[in-house]
Structure 1
Amino acid sequence: MSATNPSNLAELPQLDSDYTLTAEQTASYQKNGHILLKGIVTPEEMSFYEPLIEQTVRQHNYNTKPVEERDTYGKAFIQICNLWQMNEGIERFVLARRFAKIAAELMGVDGVRIYHDQALFKEPGGGHTPWHQDQVYWPLETPNTITLWMPLVPISEEVGSMTFVDGSHTSGYMSRQFISDESHKTLGSYIEGKGLSKTNYGAMSAGDATFHAGWTLHSAPGNPTGTMREVMTIIYVADGVNTMANPDSSARESDLKTWFPGVKAGEPAVSPLNPLVYKK
């Protein structure tokens, strides 16, 4: 973990106070598989954390190839994972009780562990993120996974939030395709053919967040603006998942080795990289 000025660390907001959810919000999430929550992080709190995360992403972004020369996945975003291990200040953000409690309450579980975090920065001119399901990548034998997706800076209507397919999380494994032009075409045709309803939350303020289930179909537009779309994500899995899935793809095998080091199929989904961050 990189050194952080202790005085600066001491000044960082704790992010352990409660964000109160209504019964209607929880029911909406469980029905649709996604929700927008406003003002989870205040502007003052974000003024401490955004510079830390932005600087860490910049330090660990080794992609020097121009956007137009990358494949579809590479054009979609700069992706840096497990920032919580790189910086003590970001560790406080990622392991925040406030976020974890929301995740647990939306899923209706007693506790949650970190799966991993990801900074997803979409560069000016960056491409769209194709239709996909996150959990295609995850070797987890549970539907109780959820992702917090939070802009660190305001994002305009033209960049916007992700687009979610309402209720798609209830269908489970819909396609083995990873994020690609093929997944966008195949899943897009399926969505249109079935006439499935979609939701896009539009412009978001820094500190707002969407939450979506691991099986919720979603995509995101490109970035036609001249500014970076800075987004931080945190993935949670319900505590007590006692059976790690047997990896059925190279991506799931890689995730198992990377995010659950030393854990084998059939064992509990717990490793030093998956701390318990909230328990009711």
Structure 2
Amino acid sequence: MQLTHQQIQFFHKESYIAVGPLVDESKTQQLKNTFSQLQRQWAQEQGESLEDYCRVLSQWTNLWKQHLLFEAQIHHANITAIARQLLGVSEIQLFHDHLISKPPVHSKAVPWHQDYAFWPVDKPRALSAWLALDDVTEKSGCLEFLPGAHLDGEQAPQDFLGSDKDWGERQTEVRKVPVPAGWVIFHNCLSWHMTAPNQTHQERCAFICIYMDANCHWKPNHSEWHPTNDQVSVAPGECFNMDEFPLIQSEGIGYEL
């Protein structure tokens, strides 16, 4: 799939772009059903009821290691093609995937932040491909962006438990980006974004793949606490090891979803 010049320019100017549908209804439902099966398995392994388990956890990483369906999804032909176009490279690597579930009614807001500030990566040459597994509305907690704020560069990591960032007069520039299931929002790792609580009675799920330029290097002191540091087997300053951070080349590896 080839984006237009205008779409690519929009991404670089605004920090995000929504494209779709890229995954059909049958496949998004398969992903959700598979995730539900994994949740039941993990809850049982923890000796918890599914209700208690899901009340505590709302984000799960590296699902590509847990099930072949998610492993195939990280290689989705059109999604990875768009990621390469937006990064301007022929080879990308998966930094990690994660599935975020906003439970109905009692979920919380995710405050304004930049993702890159929390990653042990040496340069901000990465993006997130945020696949909506449900119809995402303003009421269910869609992504919100401050367009163009990524051009100011990296800022200090935000305290997720502290006070939210105040944009002052720029607050009027904030854009909410609701999308139907199967659409993907690609956003720069320096984009400023947040999500509001889910005020509906339905779960709101998104499967996110973080793709980086394959020439990015491991920089542990950029984020010493990040759990992916435990999966790195190279020296600081080297490219990430491909067993834990799969290389995704332009010709793909035969996955078609």
Q: What's the CA shift string for 1:103-125, capped at 9, x where partnerless?
A: 11112222211111001001112
| 1:251 equivalenced with 2:225 (yes/no) | yes
Counterpart position of 1:117: 97
| 1:136 equivalenced with 2:117 (yes/no) | yes
Return the match for 1:219 from 194, 203, 211: 194
TM-superposed CA distance for 1:36, in Å, is 0.9
Counterpart position of 1:201: 177
Counterpart position of 2:142: 161
Return the match for 1:42 from 9, 18, 24: 24
TM-superposed CA distance for 1:234, in Å, is 0.6
| Aligned pairs (5 A) from 1:18-37 | 19-37=1-19
Q: Percent identity?
A: 23
| 1:176 equivalenced with 2:157 (yes/no) | yes
| 1:103 equivalenced with 2:83 (yes/no) | yes
Counterpart CA distance in 2 for 1:53 and 1:66 is: 12
TM-superposed CA distance for 1:57, in Å, is 3.8
Counterpart position of 2:239: 268
Paired AA for residue 152 in structure 1:
L
Return the match for 1:233 from 201, 205, 208: 208
Return the match for 1:210 from 177, 185, 189: 185
Paired AA for residue 55 in structure 1:
Q
Q: CA RMSD in A?
A: 2.3
Q: What's the CA shift string for 1:122-178, capped at 9, x where partnerless?
A: 111211111111111111112210001111122233114210111122222212334
Counterpart position of 2:250: 279
Counterpart CA distance in 1 for 2:249 and 2:78 is: 9
SS at match of 1:49: helix
| 1:53 equivalenced with 2:35 (yes/no) | yes
TM-superposed CA distance for 1:49, in Å, is 2.8
Aligned length: 244
TM-superposed CA distance for 1:238, in Å, is 0.7
Counterpart position of 1:12: none
Paired AA for residue 201 in structure 1:
V
TM-superposed CA distance for 1:65, in Å, is 7.1
Unmatched segments (≥5 aa) in structure 2 = 252-257
Counterpart position of 2:255: none
SS at match of 2:221: coil
TM-superposed CA distance for 1:58, in Å, is 4.3
TM-superposed CA distance for 1:275, in Å, is 1.1
Contact 2:133/2:205 (<8 A) preserved: yes
Counterpart CA distance in 2 for 1:251 and 1:178 is: 14
Counterpart CA distance in 2 for 1:52 and 1:249 is: 31
Return the match for 1:192 from 161, 165, 168: 168
State the TM-score, normalizing by the size of structure 2: 0.85
TM-superposed CA distance for 1:222, in Å, is 0.3
Counterpart CA distance in 2 for 1:92 and 1:201 is: 27
TM-superposed CA distance for 1:197, in Å, is 2.4
